[in-house]
């Protein structure tokens, strides 16, 4: 079996009993950085062969993982912190395992952006995780434009050297919004700092960050001020047939199509 194992994001004690059980029983452990992972394994006296699986060799590593699994080995896959695949290597491995029919499972555990969402006290009923933004500003702004109208909390990973430019570009695209910068989660210097995009985040940037940004404010569609009949007629006057006009009006108003249809049956 192949196991994707979540590891601590800071405090080494944040590892599950099941994760330790899997790591101890594994025949081989694939990890993002052997030098980093050895510290965790040494802390729990786990001595296993380590093989690198990072973004530069993931395709080759995936084939080796498949071969190990087919040879009957117990394979564990970890990243430097948190859940493999989530802003970490592993997605190519998952795709190859699925394509080759090799079963795999996960050992859940620590996760940085979910922890940051709780620490931020921002709305958490609906949210989107967008990970790291592109390095090039043009691509970064283009991606932000795609999500600027979502009325839900947005979560991003950011390296300390990228925080200021991320925030500046978010302000340029989103306008002013409430935000929170969460850093060093589960560590001694853990911080959750609320701020506004217009103000930027002050102070020296140190440690890995999760930026939690408020969603777009809901704006009422002006067409919703019309009656249902007027709403449908508006779309029909633009060339829509009645069926599509009813469907769009119902979507605008957030009601079932049947509710709009019964009020416009004679149109």
pLDDT tens digits along 149-166: 899 999 999 999 999 999
Structure tokens at 62: 């995936």
CA distance 194 to 151: 19
Find the domain containing 204 and state its range: 113-213
- 243: CB partners within 8 A, 6+ apart: none
Which segments of the chain have a pLDDT < 50?
none
- CATH code at position 60: 3.40.1010.10
pTM, rounded to two decimals: 0.79
Q: What is the pLDDT of residues 199-221, one digit of tens each?
A: 999 999 999 999 999 999 876 67
Is 267 within the bounds of a domain? no
Is 121 within the bounds of a domain? yes
Is 266 within the bounds of a domain? no
Structure tokens at 46: 């786990």
253 and 186 assigned to the same domain: no
- Per the CB < 8 A criterion, the answer to whether 32 and 79 are in contact is yes
> For the CA atoms of 156, 129, 145, 151, what is the dihedral angle to 10 degrees?
-120
**Location of structure tokens 């395992």:** 97
**pLDDT of the residue at 253:** 80
The helix/strand/coil state of 210 is strand
């Amino acid at each position: 079996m192949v196991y994707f194992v979540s590891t601590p994001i800071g405090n080494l004690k944040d590892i599950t009993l099941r994760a330790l059980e899997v790591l101890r029983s594994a025949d081989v452990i694939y990890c993002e950085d052997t030098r980093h992972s050895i510290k965790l394994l040494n802390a729990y006296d786990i001595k296993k062969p380590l093989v690198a699986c990072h973004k530069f060799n993931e395709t080759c590593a995936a084939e080796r993982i498949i071969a190990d699994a087919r040879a009957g080995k117990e394979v564990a896959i970890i990243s430097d912190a948190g859940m493999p695949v989530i802003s970490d290597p592993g997605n190519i491995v998952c795709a190859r395992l699925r394509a080759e029919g090799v079963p795999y499972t996960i050992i859940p555990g620590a996760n940085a952006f979910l922890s940051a969402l709780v620490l931020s006290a921002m709305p958490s009923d609906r949210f989107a995780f967008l990970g790291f933004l592109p390095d090039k500003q043009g691509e970064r702004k283009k991606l932000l434009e795609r999500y600027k109208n979502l009325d839900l909390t947005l979560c991003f990973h950011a390296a300390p050297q990228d925080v200021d430019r991320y925030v500046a570009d978010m302000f340029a695209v989103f306008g002013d919004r409430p935000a929170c910068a969460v850093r060093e989660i589960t560590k001694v210097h853990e911080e959750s700092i609320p701020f506004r995009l217009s103000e930027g985040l002050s102070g020296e940037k140190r440690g890995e960050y999760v930026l939690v940004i408020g969603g777009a404010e809901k704006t009422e569609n002006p067409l919703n001020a019309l009656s249902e009949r007027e709403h449908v007629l508006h779309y029909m006057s633009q060339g829509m047939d009645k069926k599509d006009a009813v469907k769009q009006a119902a979507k605008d108003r957030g009601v079932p199509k049947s509710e709009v249809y019964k009020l416009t049956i004679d149109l």
